[in-house]
Amino acid sequence: MSALQRGVLSKGLPPKGMAGHIPEKKLPPGKSFTPLPFSDFFDSKSTVNIDGDNFNIYLKGSSGPVFLLLHGGGYSGLTWACLATDLYARIECRCVAIDLRGHGLSSCINEDDLSTERQIRDISAIISSLFPISAGDDSVPMIVVGHSMGGALAVHSVSLSLGQIACVKIVGLVVIDVVEGTAMEALGGMITYLRSRPAQFESEEGAIKWCLSSGTVRNSTAARVSMPSQVRKRDDGKYHWRINLLRSEPHWKGWFKGLSSTFLSCTAPKMLVLAGTDRLDKELMIGQMQGKFQTTLLPRVGHAVQEDSPGRLADELARFAVRYRLAVPKGGIQFNPPMC
């Protein structure tokens, strides 16, 4: 087994010889598993209708650059809840977190079409609807941030479509814990992992408890706001997964194939945030040595970096925005000086 495979397994896939079971850890007594409302973190939510498909959007802030936040497969816009709060406390900004097709509170006619092309069209249409441009208006500066599947969609969207929308100007691209080589190698284990999860839960509290005890998320607050949006109560009274990710398997390779070269070709300032030290593929290693993007490593976190360590990630995003003069710090907070 390669070091890469061991790293993938350590992030939550069942250990070798334990297919069908994710080992759980004991949680401290007295810990709360009560769900937290979105309103504790975001200012509002709204629905955007695109050709009969209804997309749920979480919003925070009213001025400054827009951070467009794209979640990974199986998550929802609420995976960004803690990060949005921490980022807003550091810099003047707006946060827009979308429930992508088939996820969270969004409701689409065809929820199984999670192809890269379909989701890029969704994202572009949503942004055009949220930020219509009028005569004399300036384009809205936007930093696109994506995690896992959302990281791949962020790259493809910036490369193919978002830069063509008159109402926005892409000024930054941040990809969180997804690298083409690692992702492609891990796809075979994803089926085992998805089948190893509980099929249902007795309550939202039970889902939150599993999320924390399995190590899927290590931050209690993040799990309490994010996990309930990943399950849905059905007629049997049980809480089942909101999306059957196994049905998205035909699209997995399309998300990640060619990701490294496309990422490097994007002209906006770029940052790659990783949860490990051995996850760059050859193309990205060369690009990093050539100074084509910034790499940030956040140790002691799992795959859901934005949930496990929202404060540290918010620091890095704020530094990135201030360094490129994209945002203004709040309350005398000091970040690295701007680049000359």
Q: What is the tens place of the pLDDT at every residue in 151-203?
A: 999 999 999 878 777 788 999 999 999 999 888 988 888 999 999 999 999 99
Q: What is the tens place of the pLDDT at every residue in 54-79? A: 999 999 999 999 999 999 999 999 99
What is d(CA 208, CA 35) in angstroms, rounded to the nearest whole number?
8
Q: Which domains does the chain have, with CATH numbers?
A: 3-10+39-192+259-323 (3.40.50.1820)
Q: What is the tens place of the pLDDT at every residue in 22-64? A: 556 667 666 899 999 999 999 999 999 999 999 999 999 999 9
What is d(CA 204, CA 320) in angstroms, rounded to the nearest whole number?
36
Give me the catalytic one of 86, 99, 122, 177.
177
Give me the catalytic one of 76, 148, 157, 229.
148
Tell me whether residue 148 is one of the annotated catalytic residues: yes
What is d(CA 209, CA 214) in angstroms, rounded to the nearest whole number?
8
pTM tops 0.75: yes
What is d(CA 79, CA 104) in angstroms, rounded to the nearest whole number?
10
Give me the catalytic one of 71, 156, 251, 303.
303
Tell me whether residue 177 is one of the annotated catalytic residues: yes
Tell me whether residue 53 is one of the annotated catalytic residues: no
The DSSP-derived string for 11-54 is TTSPPTT-TT----PPPPTT-------GGGT-SEEEEEEETTEE
